[in-house]
Amino acid sequence: MSALAAPADPEDVKIITLARSALARTGAPQGACLRDSDGRTYAAASVALPHLQLSAVAVAVAMAVSSGAEGLEAVALAGAAGPSDGDLDVLADLPGRTGGTPTTAVLWHVDPRGQVQQRRELGPRG
């Protein structure tokens, strides 16, 4: 499978870089970075403790929501495995918004080297 084209938007490149940094810094299986509708970013790594297991996407969403984010613009996931169904469900809970209007957000999955494996649009829930 050949890698997809890298994003042209410098803000998407930034969240991919931050997701990869979280992955490299922690040695976790996944790193993620979420950009909310105000442009703030939240970088996280997956958590695997005896009594707590969270994907990097779940941690990033929790960080964003606990900081008052009301919408999602984009998310990058770095790691060998792509987003799980649970990740997609969590992302659907924080819909894309621009000025209160539902919009489409984008999900980037990159491997640990930064090669784009998947670009997926996350549409508003009906």
- Judge contact between 120 and 87, C-beta under 8 A: no
Per-residue pLDDT of the chain (126 residues; tens, 9 = 90+): 455 888 889 999 999 999 999 999 999 999 999 999 999 999 999 999 999 999 999 999 999 999 999 889 999 999 999 999 999 999 988 877 666 677 889 999 999 999 999 999 987 654
Residues 6+ apart with CB under 8 A from 46: 28, 29, 30, 31, 54, 55, 56, 59, 79
What whole-number distance in Å separates Cα of residue 92 and Cα of residue 95?
Answer: 5
Q: Position of tokens 């998947």?
A: 118
What whole-number distance in Å separates Cα of residue 96 and Cα of residue 102?
Answer: 6
Fold of 10-122: Cytidine Deaminase; domain 2 (3.40.140)
80: left (phi over 0), alpha (psi -120 to 50) or beta: alpha
Domain ranges (residues) in the chain: 10-122
